[in-house]
Structure 1
Amino acid sequence: MKKNIVVLGLGKSGVAAANLAANLGYNVFASDSKEKKIKNLNKKIIKEFGGHSDKILNSDVIIKSPGVHSDIPILKKAQKQKIKIMSELAFSLENSKYKKIIAVTGTNGKTTVTDLISKIIKAVHKDSIVSGNIGFPLADKALKTAETTFITMELSSYQLGDTPDFRPDISVLLNITPDHLEYHKTMEAYLRAKENIFINQKGGDFTVINYDDKICRKISEKTKAAVIFFSKKPLKKGIFCYNGSIVINLEEKHSVIKPKINIVGTHNIENVLAAVAASYVAGVKPAVIEKIVSKYKGVEHRIEFVRTLNGVDYYNDSKSTNIDSARVALESFDKNILIIMGGRDKGIPYTPLKELVKQRVKSIFLIGEAFDKIKKDLNGASFVDCGNMENAVKQIFRTAVRGNIVLLSPACASFDQFENFEERGKVFKKIVLSLGSGVLS
């Protein structure tokens, strides 16, 4: 008898999980709380929109998409009926084959590090994929994986919190600062979710940890894997910077590489170190790592250079969905910044940005729902109320002068006006690239 599987939440990963379940021959029912049009959903899948009905309870397994809260009424009912609830990540891994999993998490830098690791691994292992919050959900490729496949994954606190049994071969923890508290409620719960990346690892596995992050360094004591520290400062043992080089100093192995780092910001030194560490313990030779890092130009939406117009540089940092990522972006430029901020608030005060804004920002151009809170927390700054992205870019174009830096770094989620941060960044770039063409007036 076929199992009845319900997929709760039809975002990108939910659609992929539903299609995977259908391709495996299950009876699939998909439910989303919002009214939406879904492309690429298997026609055999029965679906509902605008709410979660009790039809969900006629299931053997419920696959919960990341971001769907665990305490919603329908899941409480399912728990009472002892229906199995699992994450999209767990379901995808259950139906995948692989040689190694390298998993990356942290509050910031995940996508850059995951992308760079995947490119280094791909240079050596052709059967290599990148998935999770980058590229595509693992469910999309699960049935095409093999025992030779290397999987590099970017994982959020949502995914990790829902997958307590997760065990990668190599885990990477970049940094921990407050984020997603509107979802996790407390910093302790957020931290527990992040710890799931290494909590089940054992001897023979590796945990790559940022030594310079005090929280990461402290919780590294909880893993049973071999800990590989990375740092911007010299370490007795680990992977670190020294005189413009990267030193790999682990047990009897000692190597020095001198890659050219092309991505903007001191935070990207840490990102490169993390990628070097993970790739090295995955078995990639230092010379290969050096070559790929030197070619690397970064990823879209992460302090991404868009264009120079009339002596003004435009940068897209739409992935800045929290306070710390906005801080990193601001620290990447000295002064004369015209910054676009705003979106959906995530329950974190903006006050930690106040001194940086005072030192480096000429004006803040506000969009989205969080403008009142940003104004309150960053009082004393120069604000321009814009409402939406197009108005913000128009206002900037009219006022920017040679030497200014235009930076989209919202410090907020995108969901008030956009489907996701990728759409937000693409809209920004499209508008910026149209400047001077007569499209904007």
Structure 2
Amino acid sequence: MESLKNLKVGVIGLAKSGLAAANFARSSGASVFVTESKQRAECAVFLKRLAKGVTAEFGAHSDRILESDIIVRSPGVPNNLRVLVQAKRSGIPVYSEIEFASRYISPREIIAITGTNGKTTTTSLVSDIFKTAGRKTVTAGNIGSPLADCVKKITPRTSVVLEVSSYQLEDVERFRPTISAILNITPDHIEHHKTMRGYIDAKARVFENQKKTDFCVLNYDDKKVRALKSLCGAKVIFFSAQRRLASGVFYSNGSIVVKLPFAGYSIALKLKIPGRHNIENALAAAAIAAAAGIKRGAIEKAINGFRGVEHRIEFTAAINGVEYINDSKATNVDSTLVALKAFEKPVWLILGGRDKGAPYRPLGSQIKKKVKAILLIGEAAAKIRKEFSGTAELLDAGDIDGALSLASRRAVKGDIVLLSPACASFDQFDNYEHRGRYFKNAVLKMKKRFEKK
């Protein structure tokens, strides 16, 4: 395993991943320099947790980062950043935090799960299955803790279950999962990747270094994902919620059917979380678990006992017969579409935030069927209004407080108020978790006021 001792490690971006990479590198004996475009005052939360001995600059990216032996790029830092371009021209290795941290672990297995939607639910579900099976499990990546924060607790007996985003996969070089999975691919992060092809290529890097002894789980029902089989060097396991497969994992008559050369059984599905998309998530998780050699009993127990994840179609409260649902994790159009399909009741939809470059029109048919009104928030409000003019009632709410105020006055018993923004949160919040917590707190305050009347 490589040593960081006495190396110069540069980190671009002091947020969650950058902080973890900087602290791990420093604790491993490296000289660490962090460069951050935000002002020092904006990074106060992260600065409190930055290891002693790490030096940092704020407000701009100077050429000092080019003195590094290794550069770690935080997710979302643009590819065309001047110092990044210069670093690559100079031959300085540029890694994502996932690539960087993975070089310093030797676990039992690495599971890497990506896709446009369902990553967090599937990663959480896989983690639960592994724990139910008695495996020492660390869950990290785009969920919970960055991998760099977990390096020192990972042993040769540890199963590492990672949620990985397209941003995290851009700068991989040797990262090699034992089992990879691509759940689905729909337009997202186009503002960063520039084209859909660029986005797909980033996702496909999850299996780039896999060998014939490894496994890759792919969604047969998604044409873009299915086509990636021809590029994959690992053993491919398909899953499908729509058809019986000659070999793979599929849904049939209310059961998960595992039909593989090394495993064959069915599991009666009794999901506690709503929506057809969660059947797909369960199928993917079962395929991953089967590839890892986990027995049927542990898979069945974990899947049927799973209660979902925070901020994903999460029931918050019922007030005067109106249900309030937190789906703040819906940061793209397809994710919001999945949420709308999960409900049959009339919906007051809170939509908007920071636009990500994709059209909102795919929501049109579900909006016509189910949505009483769209409550517009954030920077994308004008674009959304333009695309849905004449489709549904459009109300300018401004922010979550405004949206809840409008909804509480107009929604009636049997309605649903759904925060499923189809946008990033960064115009008004630190991240989607911050947005979701804010929504939940505001709803619970409303509930208390109602109960006092």
Q: TM-score range by the shorter chain?
A: over 0.9
The yes-or-no answer on 1:405 pairing with 2:424 is no
Question: Could you tell me how far apart the structure 2 residues matched to 1:177 and 1:408 are?
Answer: 21
- Residues 296-347 of structure 1 deviation map (CA, whole Å, 9 limit, x = unaligned): 0000011111111111111110010111001101111124100101000001
Deviation of 1:165 (Å): 3.0
Amino acid at match of 1:201: Q
The yes-or-no answer on 1:306 pairing with 2:316 is yes
The yes-or-no answer on 1:241 pairing with 2:241 is no
Q: Map 1:74-89 to 2 at 5 A.
A: 74-89=83-98
Q: Map 1:182-193 to 2 at 5 A.
A: 182-193=191-202
Aligned to 2:346: 336
Question: Could you tell me how far apart the structure 2 residues matched to 1:212 and 1:59 are?
Answer: 45
Deviation of 1:126 (Å): 3.9
Question: Could you tell me how far apart the structure 2 residues matched to 1:89 and 1:238 are?
Answer: 29
Amino acid at match of 2:274: V
The yes-or-no answer on 1:250 pairing with 2:260 is yes
Aligned to 2:303: 293
Aligned to 2:382: 372
Aligned to 1:395: 406
Tell me which moved more, 69-78 or 419-428.
69-78
Of residues 10, 21, 26, the one that matches 2:25 is 21
Alignment gaps of 5+ in structure 1: none
Deviation of 1:81 (Å): 2.8
Aligned residues: 441
How big is the alpha-carbon RMSD for the aligned residues of Structure 1 and Structure 2? 1.5
Deviation of 1:124 (Å): 2.1
Identity %: 50
SS at match of 1:197: helix
Amino acid at match of 1:2: N
Of residues 260, 271, 274, the one that matches 1:261 is 271
Aligned to 2:370: 360
Question: Could you tell me how far apart the structure 1 residues matched to 2:191 and 2:381 are?
Answer: 17
Alignment gaps of 5+ in structure 2: none
SS at match of 1:374: helix
Aligned to 2:68: 59
Question: Could you tell me how far apart the structure 2 residues matched to 1:360 and 1:320 are?
Answer: 18
Aligned to 2:51: 42
Tell me which moved more, 168-177 or 351-360.
351-360
CA contact (8 A) 1:173 1:209 kept: yes
Question: Could you tell me how far apart the structure 2 residues matched to 1:192 and 1:436 are?
Answer: 46
Aligned to 2:37: 33
The yes-or-no answer on 1:111 pairing with 2:120 is yes
SS at match of 1:300: coil
The yes-or-no answer on 1:431 pairing with 2:431 is no
Tell me which moved more, 120-129 or 149-158.
120-129
CA contact (8 A) 2:212 2:233 kept: yes
- Residues 11-42 of structure 1 deviation map (CA, whole Å, 9 limit, x = unaligned): 10110000000000111111111122123111
Q: Map 1:123-142 to 2 at 5 A.
A: 123-142=132-151
Aligned to 1:346: 356
Amino acid at match of 2:414: G
Question: Could you tell me how far apart the structure 2 residues matched to 1:401 and 1:335 are?
Answer: 11
The yes-or-no answer on 1:157 pairing with 2:166 is yes
Deviation of 1:373 (Å): 0.3
SS at match of 2:149: helix
CA contact (8 A) 1:97 1:142 kept: no
Amino acid at match of 2:422: A
CA contact (8 A) 1:200 1:223 kept: no
SS at match of 2:317: strand
CA contact (8 A) 1:121 1:284 kept: yes
The yes-or-no answer on 1:170 pairing with 2:179 is yes
Aligned to 2:326: 316
- Residues 220-256 of structure 1 deviation map (CA, whole Å, 9 limit, x = unaligned): 1211211111111211111111111111111263211
Question: Could you tell me how far apart the structure 2 residues matched to 1:127 and 1:335 are?
Answer: 42
Deviation of 1:61 (Å): 1.5
TM-score in terms of structure 1 length: 0.97
SS at match of 1:365: strand
Aligned to 1:12: 16
Question: Could you tell me how far apart the structure 1 residues matched to 2:89 and 2:240 are?
Answer: 47
Aligned to 1:417: 428
Amino acid at match of 2:34: A
Tell me which moved more, 343-352 or 197-206.
197-206
Question: Could you tell me how far apart the structure 2 residues matched to 1:83 and 1:356 are?
Answer: 49
Tell me which moved more, 368-377 or 89-98.
89-98
Aligned to 2:156: 147
Tell me which moved more, 379-388 or 423-432.
379-388
Question: Could you tell me how far apart the structure 2 residues matched to 1:438 and 1:302 are?
Answer: 26
Of residues 213, 216, 221, the one that matches 1:207 is 216
Question: Could you tell me how far apart the structure 2 residues matched to 1:351 and 1:390 are?
Answer: 26
Of residues 103, 106, 125, the one that matches 1:97 is 106
SS at match of 2:138: strand
The yes-or-no answer on 1:276 pairing with 2:290 is no
- Residues 76-113 of structure 1 deviation map (CA, whole Å, 9 limit, x = unaligned): 22223332222211110111221100110000000000
CA contact (8 A) 2:346 2:414 kept: yes
Deviation of 1:437 (Å): 2.4
Question: Could you tell me how far apart the structure 2 residues matched to 1:89 and 1:55 are?
Answer: 23
CA contact (8 A) 1:7 1:62 kept: yes
Question: Could you tell me how far apart the structure 2 residues matched to 1:70 and 1:316 are?
Answer: 33
